[in-house]
Amino acid sequence: MTHWKHLLRQSITSYEELCHCFPGRIDPAVAAVIERYPLRINPYYLKLIRTTGLPLFLQAVPRPEELNDPVGIPDPLAEETLSPVPGIVHKYPDRVLFLVTNQCALFCRFCTRKRHVGRPSMPGGDSSFAAGLDYLKDHPEIKDVLLSGGDPLLLDDDRLDEILAALRAIPSVEIIRIGSRVPCTLPMRVTKKLCRTLKRYHPLFINTHFNHPAELTDEAQLACHRLADAGIPLGCQTVLLRGVNDSPAILRDLLRGLLRLRVKPYYLFQADLTNGTDHFRTTIEEGRAIMRELIGYLSGMAIPTYALDAPGGGGKIPLTPEYQVASHDIFRFQSYRGELCSYPEPPPPPTHFST
Ligand SMILES: *Cc1c(COP(=O)(O)O)cnc(C)c1O
């Protein structure tokens, strides 16, 4: 068995194992949480939690609050409504999500797809995959297919090869994206063989997901460099999480560190209204204030778009801090340092010429 599969098998999945790993730190109510939302912490991430502490502990270890969420709903992004065939979520004109597995290397407690992940309820079998492919063939306006789940990189190399070959056989599909947290949560999954498979299907992009600078280990660096060396542009979709990374200093270290791993920060997501994750939410004002302390102080390459995935399926809404200052005749704004600046707009173009 390959090294990563062996590690995955050694994951802790039960209340008893969790108590054994973190003596005196697990509330008895967590047993019921695990019945509802499964637990998986693989040995790689477990070691990282042990050496770095709370911000990683909170991402992976269940809490009683997961069963006492006053506002969250199971499917805040209305993905079920936007799903024309099992596994496909078609929200935007030119691109879709294609959910190909419900498995992950770590079950993140703040997961937006908590209703499916790790449970048998999600499509992903061969028949739904065929239906998804037919949908893409019938909709040539779809140019960009995002493989997600679950984590597509938990599939075997052979299965991934089949999926990517089937997508590449559809001429209207221009780009393929894979959303995967594996470079962060189980970087040894990124083998040389995996990279040889992936690089046959360009243009292929990977958006990974790191939330804290402690996750930027030597192993993660090796995984990202291997993918980048295979010609795969890497982005990162971080989630803003209370107690994990809701501070400008932590995010600054994370975003700079990602660039060193050749990963371009793509989105910083406002937490979704997913049932069982309310205790992770910050306010949007806090998020904007944090962005204010990043923009201008960090390389522009390191700045993600802070965005809300609109409840009900409205799509991603950029939440940019406000720089414009009220003024009627001229464009006035503040710089990142707060200095007032202005920009005279050109006069409107003439609508007709005299002869
Ligand atoms: C986020 C998302 C996408 C991709 O959006 P981009 O802004 O292009 O990255 C596509 N489809 C669905 C359903 C999504 O939630």
Q: Shortest CA distance to 153 belongs to which of 177, 122, 126, 121?
A: 177
Distance 315 CA to ligand 1 centre (A): 7
- Domain range spanning residue 27? 4-318
What atom of ligand 1 comes closest to residue 96's alpha carbon? 11
Task: Let me know if residue 67 belongs to a domain.
Answer: yes
Q: Which residues contact 6 (CB under 8 A, 6 or more apart)?
A: none
Q: Which residues contact 355 (CB under 8 A, 6 or more apart)?
A: none
Q: Are 44 and 186 in contact (CB under 8 A)?
A: yes
CATH number of the CATH domain containing 134: 3.20.20.70
For atom 7 of ligand 1, the residue with the nearest CA is: 316
What atom of ligand 1 comes closest to residue 316's alpha carbon? 7
The pLDDT, as a whole number, for residue 329 is 78
Residues within a 6 A CB radius of ligand 1: 89, 91-92, 95, 97, 146, 316
Which positions make up the binding site for [4Fe-4S] cluster?
A: 104, 108, 111
Beta bridge partners of 307: 269, 318
Distance 30 CA to ligand 1 centre (A): 33
Q: Shortest CA distance to 237 belongs to which of 263, 214, 218?
A: 263
Computed on alpha carbons and rounded to an integer, the radius of gyration of the chain in Å comes to 22
Task: Let me know if residue 290 belongs to a domain.
Answer: yes
Cα-flanking dihedrals φ and ψ of residue 317, to 5°?
-110, 115
Task: Let me know if residue 269 belongs to a domain.
Answer: yes
Q: Are strands 305-310 and 315-318 parallel, antiparallel or unpaired?
A: antiparallel
Q: CA torsion, points 103, 104, 110, 111, in degrees to nearest 10?
A: -40
For atom 2 of ligand 1, the residue with the nearest CA is: 97
Q: CA torsion, points 175, 181, 187, 189, in degrees to nearest 10?
A: -60
Task: Let me know if residue 335 belongs to a domain.
Answer: no
Q: What DSSP designation does 92 have?
A: S
Task: Let me know if residue 347 belongs to a domain.
Answer: no
pLDDT, averaged per 10 consecutive residues of the chain (355 residues), comes to 93 98 97 97 98 97 97 94 96 97 97 88 69 97 97 97 98 98 98 98 98 98 98 98 98 98 98 97 98 98 97 95 87 93 87 70
**Each residue's pLDDT tens digit, 142-174:** 999 999 999 999 999 999 999 999 999 999 999
Task: Let me know if residue 337 belongs to a domain.
Answer: no
Q: Please give the structure tokens belonging to residue 106.
A: 């770590």
Task: Let me know if residue 115 belongs to a domain.
Answer: yes
Mutate to test the pocket of ligand 1, among 75, 90, 146 (most ligand atoms within 8 A of CB): 146
Place of tokens 């690089």: 199
The pLDDT, as a whole number, for residue 30 is 98
Mutate to test the pocket of ligand 1, among 79, 90, 92 (most ligand atoms within 8 A of CB): 92
Task: Let me know if residue 346 belongs to a domain.
Answer: no
* Domain count for the chain: 1
The pLDDT, as a whole number, for residue 355 is 61
Q: Shortest CA distance to 129 belongs to which of 95, 164, 158?
A: 164
**Each residue's pLDDT tens digit, 169-208:** 999 999 999 999 999 999 999 999 999 999 999 999 999 9
What atom of ligand 1 comes closest to residue 91's alpha carbon? 13
Q: Please give the structure tokens belonging to residue 112.
A: 């937006």
- DSSP track, 239-267: E--TTTT-SHHHHHHHHHHHHHTTEEEEE
Q: Are 118 and 103 in contact (CB under 8 A)?
A: yes
Specify the pTM: 0.95
